[in-house]
Amino acid sequence: MMNVVWSHKAKFSIKLVLLVLFASSSLVSGCSMSVAQPPVAEQGDDLLDADGDGVINARDECADTPYNAVINNSGCSEVLETVARDDLHILFANNSVKIPPSFGSEVNDLARFMKTFPHTKVQLKGYASPVGSTELNLALSKLRAQVVEKALLRKGIAPNRVQIIGFGESEPVVTTSQKQTEILSRRVTASVVNKQKSVIKKWTIYTSS
């Protein structure tokens, strides 16, 4: 039998190999050291954006922002308010309920305005000059308002959109002369205002003016 003489270096190498094999078997057998996982931060705020306006739910003060609207930092849309107005002013001759031809455009303009804004309504206010009896002037002021009402109805305005009221001689137009006061007080007036609010939209390459 051959005798094998191990050197000091060979014995050290054998020990090192055995040590490596032992460590490897320990890892395979499930005795390896576990790697620490990074901590997970708890999130209490709602980071979703339900209405898709670019502002998260946690700080969105307007939950139902219209699509493609210009919004502020609070998630609320910018609103533009437009106001349209038409005034009617018709003067009548003394003791008359006939609309003078020169004031025909007043009725036409008001009818056109009310057709443009179909949800508007008008109150026609009739007046009389401070001449004659109070009872006669009150009746005269109502008749003047009714005449203008009928003119509007002929233009296609629905009756439920028109209201009349007579003030008689109670609100005369004050001027420097009695005659001028009488002329300007025989009148029918009205004001119709339409207010609309619209959301300002974002401009895109597809937006047309």
Q: Which residues of the chain have pLDDT under 70?
A: 1-34, 40-61, 63-65, 67-68, 71, 73-75, 77, 198-209
pLDDT value of residue 42: 65
Give the whole-number percent of the chain exceeding pLDDT 70. Answer: 61
Q: Hey, what's the torsion of the CAs at 10, 15, 19, 21, to 10 degrees?
A: 60
CB 95 within 8 Å of CB 147: no
What is the DSSP code (8-state) at residue 113? H
Q: Give the CATH H-level superfamily of domain 84-198.
A: OmpA-like domain (3.30.1330.60)
Among candidates 171, 93, 180, 161, which has minimal Cα distance to 138?
171
For residue range 38-70, list pLDDT tens digits in order: 776 665 566 666 666 666 666 665 766 676 677
Write down the pTM of the prediction. 0.62
Q: Where are the domains of the chain?
A: 50-79, 84-198
